[in-house]
Structure 1
């Protein structure tokens, strides 16, 4: 079945799209800054762009509001959330440094073989996504598989750390979506994959101290990569 083309390359297949299809399409518009930070995310406008009815767009925006990608403002409707600035990045990583190494330490003694296999599957999928993206571009569709696996790896650890409040706190950060919206370059993927492997090795060994340290080092390296990018962007602006 052919696609209905709206002339902008964003059309969905010519069928009644699932809500998840529309969600992914709207997320791509936000991640690629087609809908720029601070701009109105018009339900009717997005529906025309995607050639769908407004109902699944409205449902997608409700979901994206819960994830912090849009906000709903009086008299304006939905607006794309601002990008992280240097202060926002510092605050986010301060929280990650406080929460995620602790979750890794607790998880080291609690992970079942099945959960460890799931983390192994995630690292394998990340490597496959790196290889697939090496010849691709830098739009969200080119790296979303890697971004999804990155988020999956961290959330599986947090989910099985044995502390539901800690898991909730990490979940509420929604850090991965905001970070990948901010920046993605080839090279980060390879580095991140290697750091995940070090965390997984410590978890497989049941070494709580090493798992905590590996997670801390991963978060510190992630911050260093992203903070240098923000500094460069601000100096060139």
Structure 2
């Protein structure tokens, strides 16, 4: 009888140990340079977090996990908490990697030969118009920690921004703005992002889409002169 009780206790202790190991930590996300790294633009041409923003987090393994920003609109720092676990091989990593915005298709890929590991992300070919800003989720940022004991995600911008100013003599309405590269260079589709600890990431587009469209919904009224022109913001690699 004593042997059975001892075995039951060992099983209980083992189960508790497993539960502790699978507990998801809380991470703190911080925008490294407010003048360059942006999520949405304010009146001073900065980009900040939105409440409920989602990120992909490779939490010490190559499995895509979803984390949510727990702060408020306009914060440049705050905590991220675990939401759900996605797919991935589950191979071990020696640090944490994060990508904004979240996408279930985002992957961690091992580099071939001497090439560095990278994060595969898909840049959308259509973005949504927002007055005085880029569309929510259009901007792309990545973060990498020093090691598995570091829970501070220092997000750095992976893309650039294009501002288009339009006006017309008469009241006109624009329903979309399209940008196409002259030489057919890709600006949307799959891309490879290499995060650099303490430095800026590199982004290489591997997709084939050479046109990026800004969807203006029911339409945006243009200003009638250069002094009151209407600004359209887009994110480009």
Common topology (TM > 0.5): no
Under TM normalisation by the shorter chain, which class is it? under 0.3
Specify which structure has the bigger relative contact order, considering alpha-carbon pairs within 8 angstroms and separated by 6 or more residues.
1
Normalised to the residue count of structure 2, the TM-score between the two structures is 0.25
Normalised to the residue count of structure 1, the TM-score between the two structures is 0.25
Normalized per residue, which structure has more strand? Answer: 2
Normalized per residue, which structure has more helix? Answer: 1
